[in-house]
Amino acid sequence: MPINITDFLSDNAKSMRRSAIRDLLNVANRPEIISFGGGFPNAETFPVDELKQIIAELMEEMPEKLLQYGSTEGSVAFRKQIAKRYKDAGLDVDIKNILVTTASQQALDLISRVFLNPGDTVLCGLPSYLGALQAFYSYQACPVGIKHDEEAEAVVSALCATGRKPKFIYAIPDFQNPSGVTMTLEKRQEIVDVARKYDLLILEDSPYKEIRFEGQAYPTMYSLAPERVMLAGTLSKTFAPGFRLGWVVAPDQIIDRLIVAKQSADLCTPIFNQEVAARYMEKGYFDVNLRKTIDLYRHKRDLMHKYLSEFMPEGVTWTRPEGGLFLFITLPEWMNAKELFDIAIKENVAFVIGEVFYCDGKGQNTLRLNFSYVSDEMMKEGVSRLANAIKKMMARKK
Ligand code: PMP
């Protein structure tokens, strides 16, 4: 007889929310379904041969190190490579201000663990990355949404007036997940100014910044306010998500607290992965591969745009991201993407419904499409199937 574990659960566990994306995509696992759902990089970008060579080389050179525990802060060789990449981009970061994490999802969790009490407010985008919302919920925090065009000061001052001053602002300034939108320099400055005025922290989540297809890159929010920004980075989209390698750049006091939190979470991020990635970067493979990845994803973004323009009926609009992996579709107001999902699955195409990214429960007429993963042929077929599903739903209304 199985026991009923509900009575044993902690309050934190009770406030955790299952990923609606994973649940939805389980439905979309059938081989005949073309999925624009997950945030998967394209397997063509994985540097298999280079990694075979580096792993053999390092196993010859330093097997004891590779297979041993590492320090909680992370490998010096790896952190030096991360610092070098920032330096090349014009940002001076000391390696003592870098904590290696088991990809950026762990950074979101550790930061939530260190800063959030039950009932605390976190200000985040409408829409915003679901995995971050999950991290906030799991510490019983309350995300409050702000639209891209809303004035941050008005929202923060209204929250403060009702005793709900946010602990931090969560932002994905470059090629946001899910919308694909990038914050202008003015917007970054506005948010930093508000954080300074009201003494708030900022969590800048930046997995896509280096995947820019065109246009001018903007400075990180960290560079605008290094005293209060925690910058989370990852190699998941520029190298391989299977390595689970990420990091946080933050002021000394914050890094120190995050190290203590990480000690009880996993002691250290696999040193094997860090050393392999560090050597991969040292040899210059990272930059060469990143350029190829950018070219491939730009091509895929263009292709998806072409097919969207070709197949989508009147009344459907979409964003044009200058980088990253996603674009966001808005359907006519009356349409519900959840209902569309059921029709789309019958047409053998999948996506992520937009409302899972809205902490205010709205966004019913939106959906996210990933353009990095599917082949060119599947892209055409998939967009055509999606357009058919939308047309079917529109025809039912008439
Ligand atoms: N932040 C954002 C905005 C993301 O889109 C993702 C992955 N989709 C993550 C964090 C987590 O990525 P990882 O843990 O693989 O670094």
Ligand 1 atom with the shortest distance to the CA of 107: 14
Q: What average pLDDT does the segment 269-295 reach?
A: 98
Question: CB-based contacts of 132: which residues, under 8 Å, 6+ apart?
Answer: 108, 124, 170, 203, 205
Query: What was the pLDDT predicted at 314?
Result: 97
With bands split at pLDDT 50, 70 and 90, how would you rate the model's confidence at 293? very high
Indicate whether residue 103 lines ligand 1 (CB < 6 A): yes
How many percent of the chain have pLDDT more than 90?
94
Indicate whether residue 207 lines ligand 1 (CB < 6 A): yes
Kindly give the distance from the C-alpha atom of residue 48 to the centroid of ligand 1, in angstroms, as a whole number: 22
Indicate whether residue 319 lines ligand 1 (CB < 6 A): no
Residue 31 CA: distances (Å) to CA of 35, 38, 160, 294: 10, 15, 50, 27
How far, in Å, CA of 301 to CA of 238, rounded? 16
Give the least confident one: 14-28, 155-169, 360-374.
14-28
Ligand 1 atom with the shortest distance to the CA of 325: 5
Query: What was the pLDDT predicted at 377?
Result: 95
With bands split at pLDDT 50, 70 and 90, how would you rate the model's confidence at 353? very high
Kindly give the distance from the C-alpha atom of residue 248 to the centroid of ligand 1, in angstroms, as a whole number: 13
**Cβ–Cβ < 8 Å for 371, 326:** yes
The pLDDT tens digits of the residues spanning 197-208 come to 999 999 999 999
Query: What was the pLDDT predicted at 20?
Result: 75
Indicate whether residue 145 lines ligand 1 (CB < 6 A): no
Indicate whether residue 172 lines ligand 1 (CB < 6 A): yes
Indicate whether residue 241 lines ligand 1 (CB < 6 A): yes
Give the least confident one: 146-150, 210-214, 234-238, 263-267.
146-150
Residue 195, pLDDT > 90, answer: yes
Integer-rounded Cα Rg, in Å, for the chain is: 22
Average pLDDT, the chain: 96
Q: What average pLDDT does the segment 179-195 reach?
A: 97
Indicate whether residue 271 lines ligand 1 (CB < 6 A): no
Nearest to 349 by CA among 357, 358, 341, 360: 341
Kindly give the distance from the C-alpha atom of residue 105 to the centroid of ligand 1, in angstroms, as a whole number: 6
Residue 29, pLDDT > 90, answer: no
Kindly give the distance from the C-alpha atom of residue 19 to the centroid of ligand 1, in angstroms, as a whole number: 13
Query: What was the pLDDT predicted at 141?
Result: 97
How far, in Å, CA of 225 to CA of 74, rounded? 24
Indicate whether residue 233 lines ligand 1 (CB < 6 A): no
With bands split at pLDDT 50, 70 and 90, how would you rate the model's confidence at 16? very high
Residue nearest to atom 8 of ligand 1 (CA): 39
Is this prediction's pTM over 0.95?
Answer: yes
H or E segment and range at residue 56 = helix 48-61
Entry field: residues in the chain: 398
Residue 27, pLDDT > 90, answer: no
Pocket test for ligand 1, best of 82, 101, 102, 105 (most atoms within 8 A of CB): 105
With bands split at pLDDT 50, 70 and 90, how would you rate the model's confidence at 296? very high
DSSP-based helix, strand, coil % in the chain, nearest 5: 50, 15, 35
Residue 30, pLDDT > 90, answer: no
Pocket test for ligand 1, best of 21, 99, 102, 104 (most atoms within 8 A of CB): 104
